[in-house]
A = this chain, B = another copy of it.
Amino acid sequence: MSATILVVEDEPGIQELLKLNLGQQGHSVLIAGDAEEAAHVLRGAMPDLILLDWMLPGQSGVDLARRIRADARLKDIPIIMLTARAEERDKVLGLETGADDYITKPFSPKELMARIKAVLRRRAPQMTEDAVEIAGLRLDPVSHRVYGRDQPLSLGPTEFRLLHFFMTHPERVYSRSQLLDQVWGDHVFVEERTVDVHIRRLRSALEPSGHDGLIQTVRGAGYRLSAN
């Protein structure tokens, strides 16, 4: 798995360190020393991942992240934040601006590489317009219909999006907050327990064809759709 990675970092030492390690993993590396340079690079290239320092000369990393998320062409590029402080507030704020992960300095290259791998892999499955079918349950995004063993099922809008997300990401556990991000939208103010209720509603909607039970509860972790 090799990718093009943009590094936005002003300290030459860290620049070198990242360039070396990323190069060793077979990734192509683009370097920018500040937000302006980064913006310039992004006009010409579209990296698969952005490593973004929290503290930058001039414009801060957070602002840059916001601008990237606001850009229609760039908004889907995963961002990993590099932060000097481990303060919880910073972490949360970083994630709220759309960063996919963060790591605090000093960091071990090993850990960073693992996160990069994880983030790149996480992006793999996408919700598309294609119909999905699992265990005799078929969902068609275009006609906005769900069939359980050729029997039409009736779902509400939220239940539909929830099921669509699960069916395009099977065999994976998602926490309530992850589901809120993915199904409700990134920055909604909704109680986490609300997910429970919609899971229940989805389950009862799937019951007529016996496809409830597809959605399993994983205690202490979240929910999962599994063919078993």
Binding site for B on A (CB under 8 A): 2-4, 11, 13-14, 17, 20-21, 24, 26, 28, 30, 40-48, 73-74, 84, 105-111, 114, 117-118, 121, 126, 128-129, 142-144, 156-157, 171-173, 218-221, 224, 226
- Determine which of B13, B47, B143 lies in contact with A171 in the assembled complex, contact meaning CB atoms within 8 Å: B143
A-B contact list, 15 entries, CB within 8 Å: A2-B24, A4-B17, A13-B40, A13-B45, A14-B44, A24-B26, A48-B110, A74-B106, A118-B129, A121-B129, A142-B173, A143-B171, A144-B173, A144-B224, A156-B220
Beta-carbon nearest neighbor of A40 in chain B: B13
In the complex, chain B residues whose CB is within 8 Å of the CB of A45: 13-14, 17, 105-107, 109
Chain B residues with CB below 8 A from A106, complex form:
42-46, 73-74
Roughly how many angstroms separate A105 CA and B45 CA in the complex, as a whole number?
6
Residues of chain B within 8 A (CB-CB) of A173 are 142-144
Copies of this chain, tallied across the complex: 2
Q: Given the known A-B contacts A30-B17, A143-B173, are A46 and B107 also in contact in the complex, defined by CB atoms under 8 Å?
A: yes
Evaluate contact between B110 and A118: CB separation under 8 angstroms: no
Given contacts A28-B21, A219-B156, A220-B157, A44 and B13 within 8 Å (CB-CB):
yes
Flag if A219 contacts B157 (CB, 8 Å).
yes
The answer for the CA separation of A30 and B128 in the assembled complex, in Å, is 26
The 4 closest A-B pairs by CB, nearest first: A157-B220, A46-B106, A144-B173, A46-B108
CB distance from A197 to the nearest CB of B (A): 17
A149 vs chain B, min Cβ distance (A): 17
| Bound-state Cα–Cα, A109 to B27, Å | 11
With CB as the reference atom, state the residue of chain B lying closest to A110.
Answer: B126
Nearest B residue (CB) for A122: B129
CB distance from A186 to the nearest CB of B (A): 12
Residues of chain B within 8 A of A41, CB atoms compared = 13
Shortest C-beta distance, A21 to chain B (Å), equals 6
CB pair A157 B13 closer than 8 Å: no
How many whole Å from A76's CB to the nearest CB in chain B? 10
